Amino acid sequence: MTASGPNRRKAVVVGAGPVGCLAAMSLAKMGWSVDIYEGRPDMRLPSSKAAAQQRSINLAISARGLAAIQAIDPGAADRFLSTVIPMHGRMIHDAQGRLQSQPYDRDGQCINSIGRAFLNEDLLKEALAVPDIRAFFQHKVASIDFDRRIMKVQDVEAAQDVDVPFDFCVGADGSYSIVRRQLMRVVRMDYQQWYIPHDYLELKMPAGPPQEPGGDPSFLLDPNHLHIWPRHTFMLIALPNKDRTFTCTLFAPTADFDRLDSDAAIVRWFSEHFPDALPLIGEQALLEDFHRNPRSALMSIKARPYHYKDRAVLLGDAAHAMVPFYGQGLNCGLEDVRVLDVLLREARVDATSQVPECEEDGRLASALARYSETRHEDLVAICDLAMDN
């Protein structure tokens, strides 16, 4: 239920990624008036969708992430489930092209494949359907004065800076978080960031021909598996999409990528290591993706604490970016929102009556302190599991 009234306090959420959208929904449902500030253009615009296609990673959403969406908005969780493809196990492709299915669970539990752009757009639409959530796109947060509770934001379109007052700031602005960097000025934050020697690159596997004349396109691989081509220091994975294509991600050491410096070298390397994937992706499409799509770095971030007084908290990748080999980065970010939601409710934080400017909201401050204390061990554990996997 959304509270109304003139005294509601203002929460600003920095970042309209999946975690920011779910955090906005959680806070609005507790009575906060919520404004989301997003540096990029509105992802619902056709021009944004075209740009997103070049970095269209697929995500595996597990019970952890689903439970978080369910806790904040059960209806949104049901709608979300209708947009995913369940993957009941891994399909291992060996170097000779032989397949081995490894079910995740004897009782049919699964993880769910969805394109990041689809998931993000769906969550944004869910958030903006909640009364009292507004989103400002192309509004890039530049600096934050937490003690004065004022954020400086660059309005990119109008080419001007605006001062935004707030009561509570949620930093959901991803691995390169400005909120985290600004918090470091006022908090004694322990912080660790390191890159692994691997890059990743997205490739597309097209849909196959219809099974019967006039029918729908077909999947070229079993759609209910997460396909993996493990090759010691590098690997290829493929996750299914609703349009019957697969999004493939190649992870390899930077030095290996650098050696693939001609079309012939790329095709030769693929036919040597991924002999069954190459004909499905197609040589021409492989080369186009290789040349067009960006190669991106992978890093891991640990920080502590995640909060400052009653003013701010970091959630999602802003607090704990992790390498993707455990498929839990976003799942953990969504879980952050659920855990914080529980703590704010338990502390009976009141978003509907103003706290005098010179005073601190003791309930909010202690809920945030509990969040930092209780959440850290789990997040470090999962960052380490991801690194070791």
Ligand X SMILES: Cc1cc2nc3c(=O)[nH]c(=O)nc-3n(C[C@H](O)[C@H](O)[C@H](O)COP(=O)(O)OP(=O)(O)OC[C@H]3O[C@@H](n4cnc5c(N)ncnc54)[C@H](O)[C@@H]3O)c2cc1C
State which of residues 11, 130, 135, 178 lies at the interface with ligand X (CB under 6 A).
178
Which parts of 108-167 interact with ligand X (CB under 6 A)? 116, 140-141
**Dihedral pair phi/psi, residue 113, rounded to 5°:** -90, 130
- Which is closer to ligand X, CB of 21 or CB of 347? 21
Q: Which of 31, 115, 240, 329 binds ligand X (CB under 6 A)?
A: 329
The residue among 264, 313, 263 whose CA lies nearest residue 289 is: 263
Cβ closest to ligand X, residue 55 vs residue 345: 55
> What is d(CA 300, CA 289) in angstroms, rounded to the nearest whole number?
26
Binding residue (CB under 6 A) for ligand X from 2, 3, 10, 40: 40
Task: Count how many residues are written for the chain.
Answer: 389
In sequence order, the β-bridge partners of residue 160 are 155
349 binds ligand X (CB under 6 A): no
Give 52 or 347: the residue with its C-beta nearer to ligand X: 52
Q: Which is nearer to ligand X, 59 or 347 (CB)?
A: 59
**Closest to 225 measured CA to CA, from 337, 95, 86, 320:** 86
Among 57, 156, 189, 207, binds ligand X (CB under 6 A): 57
Q: What residues does 314 pair with on adjacent strands?
A: 171
Q: How far is the CB of 22 from ligand X (least distance, A)?
A: 8
Measured from the Cβ of residue 215, the count of other Cβ atoms closer than 10 Å reads 9
Strand, helix or coil for residue 45: coil
Name the one range near ligand X by CB under 6 A: 16-24, 95-103, 183-191, 346-354: 16-24
User: CA 366 from chain center: how many Å?
Assistant: 27
Instruction: Note whether 221 and 318 are within 8 A (CB).
Output: no
How many residues touch ligand X under the rule CB under 6 A: the total is 32
User: Angle, nearest 10°, between helix axes 116-128 and 74-81?
Assistant: 150
Half-sphere exposure of 95 (CA within 13 A, CB side): 6
Nearer to ligand X, 159 or 358 (CB): 159
The answer to whether 195 and 297 are in contact (CB under 8 A) is yes
**How many CB atoms neighbour CB 233 within 10 A?**
11
Choose between 104 and 355: whose C-beta lies nearer to ligand X.
104
Residue 133's identity, in one-letter code, is I
Nearer to ligand X, 8 or 140 (CB): 140
Looking at 37, 80, 246, 270, which residue binds ligand X (CB under 6 A)? 37
Give the interface segment with ligand X, choosing from 54-62, 253-261, 287-295, 370-378 (CB under 6 A): 54-62
One of 115, 240, 305, 324 touching ligand X (CB under 6 A): 324
- Taking the C-alpha atoms of residue 126 and residue 150, their distance in angstroms, rounded to an integer, is 27
Supply the minimum distance, in Å, between the C-beta of residue 159 and ligand X: 16
Which of 12, 13, 19, 144 is the binder for ligand X (CB under 6 A)?
19
x/- contact string, 98-117, with ligand X (CB under 6 A)?
------------------x-
β-strand partners of 165: 150
Q: Are 170 and 225 in contact (CB under 8 A)?
A: no
Q: Is 317 in the site for ligand X (CB under 6 A)?
A: yes
Q: Of residues 252, 333, 367, 372, which one binds ligand X by CB under 6 A?
A: 333
Q: Which residues bind ligand X (CB under 6 A)?
A: 14-20, 37-40, 57, 59-60, 116, 140-141, 172-174, 178, 200, 249, 316-317, 324, 327-331, 333
